[in-house]
């Protein structure tokens, strides 16, 4: 199967590119009137290089090696001004596979992810317009290894207005409308969703806000074989931005009406607590439960994870599910040294696909050291285990990444890194023990941040 991004997916990627291009132009337009505010941050990078995999399909036997040509783009744009608020991040690579057995064909593959939102203040504080886009990879079959054969690009685009009315000195009423479009590269789960919400917000102090929210959305799949659904939720939100502690808590209830005549309801809980332990370290705790679908799961994973992680833990499906989750991360950062340790747990229970019900544990640790102004080294270790209720399927993966960077010019340099992935499973498809080793040498161009 050759790589062929659908016309619809291309249109979504073009829309995402438009967000960045138009937003950058608009930011320059309003820069003069926003000099008193915090400056924008804009970073980008381009990469190109060569790699090799000794088991590109991650098989337990009949291993196939491949050389890989790769090219990538990196972007980090953050801006908060009177008429524009932007947070756009991307780390994407395009891989072309060479020298594979003549009887096999390996798809070109896009890896990595992009997550961005841009809000334009048409009438500041009263009428704004949001454009948000999430791009990553989803799994066609979670029981087989993630390879160019089994992963596909997925894009989730959302846009719509917000109307805000001030009520007194410390309260406001907000009306929102949203239109979203989800496009899959291969799977027949393309969909559109329309919805909106009402929120009553009150500033309980100069650092905290309490709100009551009513939201609804209606999801329609393009293919008749998929089952449409409607979702309504009511929740209280509390946010606190203190000197060393940030809290963002949502507590509520969700009702789903599925077009096959069934209903599903459950609690809505999403709590994030960030604590600055010192000038160099901090803790991040998150836990909750929600009724979700694949598109929302992809966005949630990209918003809470590192850009570059491609969201590949998300399963491509039209079936809704209940997701329970908890994670704890500790980060330490100084000018020359940084490291992090995290642990996460989540459980998915699907409405009409028992074979996808699963429980996951993920442990990660990483470190980076700047040896001098031009040389740096990094290491990352990740252990992921999944268990499925049907047939007692179990999967374990251990990933080790080692790398270094040498900046030989003002904006240019080389990255050298290797990856070792060990996988053990008892699944019927893709079961057994497999091992893949990859090594890459890439040249980069990364101008200093503006």
Residue 35's pLDDT is: 41
pLDDT of residue 22: 41
* Region 270-298 average pLDDT: 96
3-class state of residue 22 by DSSP? helix
What's the confidence (pLDDT) of residue 33?
A: 44
Q: Where are the beta strands (DSSP E) in 204-336?
A: 208-221, 229-241, 245-258, 263-276, 281-292, 321-333
State pLDDT tens for residues 334-360.
999 999 999 999 999 998 888 899 999
CA 265 and chain centroid, separation: 26
List the helix and strand counts (H, then E) for the chain.
2, 20
Least confident of 142-146, 234-238, 331-335: 142-146
Cα gap 164→130, rounded to integer Å: 13
* 40-57 average pLDDT score: 93
With cut-offs at 50, 70 and 90, classify the pLDDT of residue 418: very high
Banded pLDDT at 92 (limits 50, 70, 90): very high
Nearest CA among 423, 426, 367 for reference residue 399 = 423
Domain ranges of the chain: 7-445
Burial class (CB in 10 A: 0-12, 13-18, 19+), 28: exposed
Strands 84-98 and 109-123: antiparallel
Provide the CATH topology of domain 7-445. Answer: Maltoporin; Chain A (2.40.170)
Residue 94 tokens read as 């395009």
Residue 104 pLDDT > 60, yes or no?
Answer: yes
Asked if residue 37 lies in contact with residue 58, where contact means CB atoms within 8 angstroms, the answer is no
- Residue 28's pLDDT is 37
Above 60 in pLDDT, residue 26? no
Summarize the confidence of residues 395-416 as an average pLDDT. Answer: 96
373: buried, middle or exposed (CB in 10 Å: 19+, 13-18, 0-12)?
exposed
Give the per-residue pLDDT at 36.
Answer: 42
189, 223 in Cβ contact below 8 A? yes
pLDDT score of 57: 87
pLDDT at position 114 over 50: yes
Q: What are residue 439's DSSP bridge partners?
A: 52, 418
Close Cβ partners of 408 (under 8 Å, ≥ 6 residues apart): 374, 414
Q: In this model, does residue 205 exceed pLDDT 70?
A: yes
Angstrom distance (rounded) from CA 184 to CA 163: 32
For the stretch 211-230, pLDDT in tens is 999 999 999 999 999 999 99
- Confidence (pTM): 0.88
The closest alpha carbon to 395, from 362, 442, 420, belongs to 362
Task: Quote the pLDDT of residue 367.
Answer: 97
Nearest partner of 115 among 93, 129, 94, 131, judged by Cα:
131
Q: Based on the number of CB atoms within 10 Å of its own CB, is 143 exposed (0-12), middle (13-18) or buried (19 or more)?
A: buried
Q: Which pLDDT score, from 0 to 100, does residue 37 have?
A: 55
Average pLDDT of the chain to the nearest whole number: 88
Strands, DSSP E only, in 124-207? 127-139, 151-167, 171-184, 191-203
Could you count the other beta carbons within 10 Å of the beta carbon of residue 295?
27
Residue 48 has what DSSP assignment?
E
Pairing of strands 171-184, 151-167: antiparallel
In whole angstroms, give the CA distance from residue 160 to residue 167. Answer: 23
What's the CA gap between 217 and 193, in Å, rounded?
A: 6
pLDDT value for 154: 95
Quote the pLDDT of residue 61: 84
Assigned token pair, 339: 């490291």
Report the DSSP beta bridge partners of residue 232.
216, 255
Distances from the Cα of 269 to the Cα of 51, 238, 357, 372, angstroms: 43, 12, 20, 45
pLDDT (0 to 100) of residue 1: 38
**Which residue in this structure is represented by tokens 């926003």?**
34
Residue 127 has pLDDT above 50, yes or no: yes
Q: How far is Cα 56 from Cα 170, in angstroms, rounded to an integer?
A: 58
pLDDT value for 412: 96
């Amino acid at each position: 199967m050759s790589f062929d991004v659908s016309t619809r997916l291309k249109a979504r990627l073009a829309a995402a590119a438009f967000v960045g291009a138009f937003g950058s132009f608009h930011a320059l337009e309003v820069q003069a009137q926003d000099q008193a505010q915090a400056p924008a941050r804009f970073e980008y990078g381009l990469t190109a290089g060569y790699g090799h995999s000794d088991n590109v399909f991650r098989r337990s036997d009949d291993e196939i090696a491949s050389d890989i040509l790769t090219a990538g783009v990196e972007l980090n744009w953050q801006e908060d001004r009177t008429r524009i608020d932007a947070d756009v991040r991307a780390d994407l690579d395009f891989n072309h596979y060479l020298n594979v057995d003549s009887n096999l064909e390996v798809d070109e593959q896009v890896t990595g992810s992009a997550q961005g939102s841009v809000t334009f203040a048409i009438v500041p504080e009263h009428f704004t317009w949001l454009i948000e886009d999430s791009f990553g990879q989803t799994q066609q079959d979670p029981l087989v290894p993630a390879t160019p054969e089994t992963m596909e690009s997925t894009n989730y685009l959302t846009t719509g207005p917000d109307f805000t009315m001030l009520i007194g000195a410390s309260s406001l009423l907000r009306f929102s409308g949203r239109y979203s479009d989800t496009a899959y590269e291969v799977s027949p789960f393309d969909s559109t969703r329309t919805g909106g919400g009402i929120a009553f917000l009150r500033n309980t102090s100069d650092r905290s806000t309490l709100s009551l929210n009513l939201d609804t959305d209606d999801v329609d799949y393009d293919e008749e074989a998929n089952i449409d659904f409607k979702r309504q939720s009511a929740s209280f939100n509390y946010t606190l931005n203190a000197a060393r502690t940030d809290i963002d808590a949502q507590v509520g209830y969700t009702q789903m009406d599925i077009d096959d005549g069934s209903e599903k309801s459950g609690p809505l809980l999403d709590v994030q607590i960030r604590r600055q332990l010192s000038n160099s370290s901090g803790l991040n705790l998150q836990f909750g439960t929600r009724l979700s679908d694949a598109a929302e799961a992809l966005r949630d994973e990209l918003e809470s994870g590192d850009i570059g992680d491609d969201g590949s833990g998300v399963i491509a499906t039209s079936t809704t599910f209940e997701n329970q989750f908890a994670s704890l991360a500790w980060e330490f950062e100084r000018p020359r040294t940084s490291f992090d340790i995290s642990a996460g747990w989540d459980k998915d229970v699907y409405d009409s696909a028992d074979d996808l019900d699963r429980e996951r544990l993920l442990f990660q640790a990483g470190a980076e050291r700047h040896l001098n102004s031009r040389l740096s080294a990094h290491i990352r270790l990740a252990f992921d285990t999944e268990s499925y209720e049907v047939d007692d399927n179990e999967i374990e993966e251990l990933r080790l990444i080692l790398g270094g960077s040498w900046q030989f010019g003002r904006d240019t340099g080389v990255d050298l890194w290797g990856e070792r992935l060990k996988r053990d499973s008892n699944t019927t498809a893709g079961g057994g023990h497999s091992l893949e080793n990859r090594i890459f040498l890439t040249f980069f161009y990364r101008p200093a941040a503006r």
